[in-house]
Structure 1
Amino acid sequence: MAGDSGGRAGSGYFVQSVARALSVLRTFTAERRAQSLSDVARETGLDRATTRRLLLTLVDLGYVAVDGNSFSLTPRVLEFGYAYLSAMSLPELAHPHLQALAGELNETAALAELDGDEVVYLALVPSRRLAAVKINIGTRFDAYATSMGRVLLAGLPEVELEARLERLQLPRRTERTVRDVAALRAEIARVREQGWALVDSELEEGLRGAAVPVRDRAGRVVAAANVSVHADRTTPALVEREYIPVVLRTAKLIEADLIAGVGQRDTTGQPDR
């Protein structure tokens, strides 16, 4: 029942009217966007007179709208969510979405940002399938050899990208590691065009990674989200067809929370100066 107070009503500080008002708000769902007084009373277990007073108070405060006999929430209720999200950093915002991504694909999911010529892991949900690969929050890899790195490089302004490529060294990590700057530049151009990157056994033999950009409200690439899989369980075509769409969807969810919650904060959660 929506009006259940969880057994705390006997405490000395408990304000029953607050609990009842919140129980009224919680009755509104995607399936019950508009409700009558009787609907809300039934869902909360409160009598009609109490329910009416609570609803009309919420109308006066701007959290509920009334149209005839129908009540519905107003956008003002989003203030509560914004206040919560604005106190969170990008890794905190991303983590539940990465958990969902890892759970859906049963693979390791991560978020990283560009730091110099390296990617640094900001958030990580590991999978037992990738237990042999030692990755932790704070782990760094050369950006050129990773899917997240190529997404982040592709998000740089052209002048900055070229400056980085001119000084970049490309040590070979595996037989498949990109061999020269011209080939890397072409790969980054392809990533920009298609909106995602797929790197196959260039960082470590048998490790395949797929990444997509995470953008802020200004459209700037501030991070990359990815999944890492063993090459012997997948093919590039399978990853492109079945994995990348899920990672793209996850990035959109992270972006939505970031845009809603960051406000005047940067991506690390620190106030803008």
Structure 2
Amino acid sequence: MIQVIHRALDLMELIASEPERPKPLGELADRLGLNHGTCANILKTLVSRGYVEQQGVKKGYILGFKSYVLTGNDAYRKDLMEASQQAMDHLTRLTNENCLLAILKDDQRLIVHRTFAEQDLQVRTAEEKPAYESASGRMLLAMLPTDLLERFIQKFGLPRPEIWPEILNQTDLYRALAQIRREEFALQTISHRHIVGLAVPIRKKGVVVASLSVYLPEYRYMATSKAQLVAYLQTAAETINANLA
């Protein structure tokens, strides 16, 4: 086996040995007897592929979303899941619709937990989806600090017209995201699939760390009280926020 593959696997195994403790570059390199530059390059590749996450410049590295997807393990962002599970179960019972808890990773909305309703016709969505293409992704973008939002737009551009028809230029995008931020609520209608998504923010110590959303067929949304759905979402979010505090 190629040596660099051995080293990459050694790094992932060492990071996984204490999955909730970020390990700095120096510790990883020293414990595995690697040159710091070599270790940094391998970690950079693992981070870019989503198998490892860097927790700030100095805090270190933890396993990324893709590592958990490979094994079907739901331990990713364990604190979020533990804080949200009961509230999401209750929200699904109240609405009888599928609920999602998601985070932002690069330009993707990533689902870290979901609950399923008992409807015959259910809305399903991919684990990863471009942020512009979902209510939860738009909520997460709207809550980014200004400098991070500007960096996101510079790197990934504007949404395609077929994805977000109301957005024709950068001014339109800033205006739409500002409205979501003010209202702390995002609504998206996927016309060609007749699906509606609603999302609210989740906070940990005042900082938005995730979004909570409900997706349902358009015909059920039209027959449901929007105000009631939003109230259910907001109540569940408040419970999760309190659990995370």
Specify the TM-score bucket, using the shorter chain as the normaliser. Answer: 0.5 to 0.7
Rounded to whole Å, the distance in 2 between the matches of 1:158 and 1:123 is 27
Give the structure 1 partner of residue 229 of structure 2: 243
For the Cα contact (< 8 Å) 2:123–2:215, is it kept in 1?
no
- Distance in 2 separating the partners of 1:234 and 1:133: 12
RMSD: 2.6
Question: Is 2:186 the counterpart of 1:197?
Answer: yes
Asked if the contact 1:209–1:228 (Cα under 8 Å) also holds between the matched residues in 2, the reply is yes
Structure 1, unaligned runs of 5 or more: 1-87, 260-273
TM-score (norm 1): 0.56
Task: Give the equivalent residue in structure 1 for 2:114.
Answer: 124
Task: Give 5+ residue unaligned stretches, structure 2.
Answer: 1-77
Superposition deviation, residue 91 in structure 1: 1.3
Give, in angstroms, the shift of residue 243 of structure 1.
0.5
Deviation at 1:117, TM superposition (A): 1.0
How much does 1:130 deviate? 7.5
- Cα 1:157–1:175 shift into 2, 3 Å: closer
User: What is the CA–CA distance in structure 2 between the aligned matches of 1:130 and 1:163, rounded to whole Å?
Assistant: 42
Contact 1:130 1:230 in 2 (8 A): no
1:166 Cα deviation from its structure 2 partner: 2.9
2:96 is equivalent to residue 96 of structure 1: no
Of the two, which has the highest radius of gyration?
1
Structure-2 residue corresponding to 1:146? 134
Change in CA separation of 1:90 and 1:175 when aligned onto 2, cut-off 3 Å: closer
Q: Of 151, 170, 175, which residue of structure 2 is paired with 1:163?
A: 151
Work out whether 1:226 is the aligned partner of 2:216.
no
In structure 2, the CA distance between the partners of 1:257 and 1:198, relative to structure 1 (3 Å rule), is same
1:1-273 mapped onto 2 (5 Å cutoff) = 89-129=79-119, 131=121, 133-135=123-125, 139-167=127-155, 168-173=157-162, 176=165, 178-201=167-190, 205-217=193-205, 219-235=206-222, 238-239=225-226, 241-259=227-245
Deviation at 1:105, TM superposition (A): 0.7
Alpha-carbon distance between aligned partners in 2 of 1:130 and 1:151, rounded to the nearest angstrom: 28
Separation in 2, partners of 1:105, 1:246 = 8
Cα offset, 1:170, TM superposition: 2.0
Shift of 1:112: 0.2
Question: Structure 1 residues 127 and 178 mapped into 2: Cα distance closer, same or farther (>3 Å)?
Answer: farther
> What is the CA distance between 1:183 and its match in structure 2?
2.4
**Amino acid corresponding to residue 203 of structure 2 in structure 1:** R
Q: Is the 8 A contact 1:111 1:224 kept in 2?
A: yes
Q: What percent of counterpart residues are identical? A: 25
